[in-house]
Chains A and B, each alone.
Chain A
């Protein structure tokens, strides 16, 4: 109902990422959206400001909070927002009614984090006396590392990465410990093992969360093939347990590729919030050096370029001139930039909560979905996979669902 087209495109730039111009540090004045890229849609602007400038909580009225809570809920950022406001000491500025919603989301996070720690405790026994590195990814890693920015951050499963060489050993240990594959279907099993970057997801009756075991961070059939061995080698131990986390630069790269290489970007604004948070948490000379280096080693410069471009444009992520210059080397051609600017802007942000669910996915989303599949697998494999899937689903067409089943 509310138009997301907030401003027209300003005058053209020189095709650069825009990272090199107007670079800001974390002490810079409040973010201003005046890039060559459209600003975030109006219904997100107050939420974004709260995330990166929590003090702005003092300036909101109860109408603002109504929208902020609903938008944050849609974007799965309500718990994150609680964490940011609490750490800045401004929760007290939030009126009581919306504050209770923030507290509810925080309780949800605490429960998830507890379940993740409980699961990791269970895994510790299963992996007893394994010399190889066990690397936690994303949500589980942030929890185990105790990174402040991740307090309140929603996550659904625990992601673990091991070397491909020990994958069989890891899997048999997990089976022994009672973990069962979520995809018993033979073709699905084959799909994951031959072409994915992870084992089929696993569940255990004692643990709430799902476990995904990866051997690299992108599908092995994709256009970009990061060097998994080097990722493992650079991984750093997390004190107080058998676990490691990816190196800071690789954590940023992982989020960037997940968002801009292996997804359609639709409704994934919170992953851009992760990019911003990681850079703010780790930022400094070390990261400025490591990030372009690692991106070059693993061939992940392009997704990193996108991640920094949009994080800076929409979240005011502080990017040093040196880092900006180095990453600009990975920029795509201007026409691709322009196209991606438009498509990502349309897809990434959650819709206005007063809108209706679209009956059909918009053209921009379908372009991005097609792009994600194109980047994930070569055409011959796509054709084979699509044929297999449709043959199989035709063979066992399920009964038509009772429309009232879900209430």
Chain B
């Protein structure tokens, strides 16, 4: 595997592209935006940078928009296989655009997995799937769990379930933290590597939390799911962890999946197996630290045999 020394990354991005093996999928990234190099290195720094040819699941670029307007109001656009699925963004929003684009392309192209819109982490060999709607605090909770050092990041955005093995595949791309979450994580975990803050994007302020060495070393270690947890952040709420009926968990997961309908019977079987084999809980929290401790205890209870699926 050939590794590009840092000064060459701008050139690699302009030419063949930088290949990032992120576990569940290989991405090839290209760009002619030199300002993207430093932030890219800051959030993907622990991944081996390859510039090897070979098959990639997604090949995508962030490119400057050409034309006269670039002198007045420079813009960048996301291009995947010759198409621009989004309108251009202001040139300063390059990394968030790349991240959103890669998420989008992954869901479009890697439909051979059952894809859940979930944060996923692992502790002591127990995979935890946290399906949630936007705004439920999924990314912050995932970032907090990972930042605490007691959970391994699989993904803050996707539950990637292999239909062949029923295991969760890691896809530890940078965690996108928004607005107040950025300071919540920074103040609690001063040691986590955060990329630069991008102000005034469509989703407000965005900063990306990088995966650490240990996470990257384990990108091909798939995990058996053990907990399905539906988190809900409510300001000032007391902590509550309640059992949820597997049938209800099933129907919530079908709605949460990106490609449940498309995969038909295979997806039905996969989600059925998931809720059968997992401890299903609903978590309401107002305090991040309490929530993390509660989840840790749940994992310990499973490890000690005090809790098992179906209870």
Interface residues of A (CB under 8 A from B): 62-63, 65-66, 69-70, 73-74, 95, 97-98, 100-101, 103-104, 107-108, 110-111, 114, 350-357, 359, 401, 403-407
B28 to chain A: closest residue by CB: A66
User: How many angstroms from the CA of A407 to the CA of B100 in the assembled complex?
Assistant: 7
Query: A73-B109, A356-B63, A359-B67 known; A107 and B55 CB under 8 Å?
Result: no
Is there contact, CB below 8 Å, between A97 and B202?
Answer: no
A108 touches B262 (CB 8 A): yes
A350 to B81, CA, bound (A): 11
CA distance A107 to B261 in the complex (A): 10
Q: In whole angstroms, what is the CA distance A62 to B63 when docked?
A: 26
B56-93 vs A: 1/0 string, CB under 8 Å? 11010001001100000000000101111111110000
Kindly state whether residue B134 has any CB partner on chain A within 8 Å.
no
Supposing A73-B81, A73-B109, A101-B109 touch, asked if A404 and B202 sit within 8 A by C-beta, the answer is yes
Q: A407 to B263, Cβ gap below 8 A? A: no
Chain B residues, CB < 8 A from A114 = 264
Contact A66 B100 (CB under 8 A): no
- The one of B54, B86, B87, B104 that contacts A66, using a Cβ cutoff of 8 Å: B54
* Smallest CB gap from B67: residue in A: A359
What are the nearest 7 A-B pairs in CB distance? A403-B87, A404-B202, A353-B81, A104-B111, A100-B112, A104-B112, A62-B55
Given contacts A74-B82, A407-B100, 15 further A-B contacts (CB under 8 A): A62-B53, A69-B55, A73-B81, A73-B109, A74-B81, A101-B109, A101-B112, A104-B111, A107-B263, A111-B264, A352-B82, A357-B84, A359-B67, A403-B88, A404-B89
Q: Is the pair B81, A108 in contact by a Cβ cutoff of 8 Å?
A: no
- How many angstroms between the C-alpha atoms of A98 and B89 in the bound complex? 31
Indicate if B26 sits at the interface (CB-CB under 8 A). Answer: yes
Q: Which residues in A have their C-beta under 8 angstroms from that of B202?
A: 404, 407
A97–B57 CB distance below 8 A:
yes
In the complex, 19 of the A-B residue pairs with CB atoms within 8 angstroms, ordered by the A residue number, are A97-B57, A98-B55, A101-B109, A104-B109, A107-B111, A107-B262, A110-B264, A350-B82, A353-B81, A355-B82, A356-B63, A357-B79, A403-B88, A403-B89, A404-B86, A404-B202, A405-B87, A406-B85, A406-B87
Tell me if A357 and B82 are in contact (CB < 8 A).
yes
Let me know if B243 is at the binding interface, CB within 8 A.
Answer: no
Q: How far, in whole Å, are A393 and B26 apart by their CA atoms in the complex?
A: 45
Pick from A62, A70, A97, A357: contact of B59, CB under 8 Å: A70
Interfacial chain B residues near A104, Cβ < 8 Å:
109-112
Q: How far is the CA of A403 from the CA of B78 in the complex (A)?
A: 13
Q: Is B297 an interface residue (CB 8 A)?
A: no
| B111: min CB distance to chain A, Å | 4
A96 to chain B, nearest CB (A): 9
In the assembled complex, the CB of B176 is this many whole angstroms from the nearest CB of chain A, namely: 12
A70 → chain B closest CB, angstroms:
5
Smallest CB gap from A102: residue in B = B112
Pair A66/B111 contact, Cβ less than 8 Å: no
Contact A357 B57 (CB under 8 A): no
| Total contacting residues, chain B, CB less than 8 A | 32
Tell whether B237 is near chain A: CB-to-CB under 8 Å.
no
B59 and chain A: residue at smallest CB distance = A70
Q: Does B266 contact A (CB under 8 A)?
A: yes
CA distance A353 to B57 in the complex (A): 13
The answer to whether A407 and B104 touch across the interface, beta carbons within 8 angstroms, is yes
Interface residues of B in 97-130 (CB under 8 A from A): 100, 104, 109-112
How many Å lie between the Cα of A391 and that of B202 in the bound state?
34
CB neighbours of B88 from chain A (8 A)? 403
Q: Which residues of the partner chain B approach A107 to less than 8 Å between Cβ atoms?
A: 111-112, 262-264, 266
A193 and B266 CA atoms in complex are apart in Å by: 43
A66 pairs with B59, CB closer than 8 A: yes
Asked whether, in the complex, the Cβ of A357 is within 8 Å of the Cβ of B83, the reply is: yes
Query: Which residues of A are found within 8 Å of B261, using beta-carbon distances?
Result: 111
Q: Are A65 and B55 in contact (CB under 8 A)?
A: yes
A277 to chain B, nearest CB (A): 24
* Alpha-carbon separation in the docked complex, A373 to B67 (Å): 30
In whole angstroms, how far apart are the Cα atoms of A104 and B89 in the complex? Answer: 30
Check A63–B59 contact: CB distance below 8 A.
no
Task: Choose from A66, A73, A350 the contact partner of B55 (Cβ within 8 Å).
Answer: A66
- In the bound complex, what is the Cα–Cα distance between A62 and B26 (angstroms)? 13
Q: Which residues of B from 28 to 61 have beta carbons under 8 Å from A?
A: 53-57, 59
CB B86 to nearest CB in A, in angstroms, measures 5
Chain B residues with Cβ below 8 Å from A66 are 53-56, 59
Q: Known interface pairs A66-B59, A108-B262. Does A356 touch B112 (Cβ–Cβ under 8 Å)?
A: no
A156-B86 Cα distance, complex, nearest whole Å: 22
Q: When the two chains form their complex, are residues A103 and B112 in contact, meaning their CB atoms are under 8 A apart?
A: yes
**In the bound complex, how far is the Cα of B262 from the Cα of A197, in angstroms?**
32
A108 contact set on B, CB distance < 8 A: 111, 262
A97 touches B67 (CB 8 A): no
- Distance A98 CA – B110 CA, assembled complex (angstroms): 10
Say yes or no: B55 contacts A97, CB within 8 Å: yes
Contact: A356 with B55, CB < 8 Å? no
Asked if residues A406 and B55 are in contact (CB atoms below 8 Å), the reply is: no
Are A70 and B111 in contact (CB-based, < 8 A)?
A: no
- How far, in angstroms, from A111 to B259 measured CA to CA in the complex? 11
Within 8 Å CB of A353, what residues of B?
59, 81-82
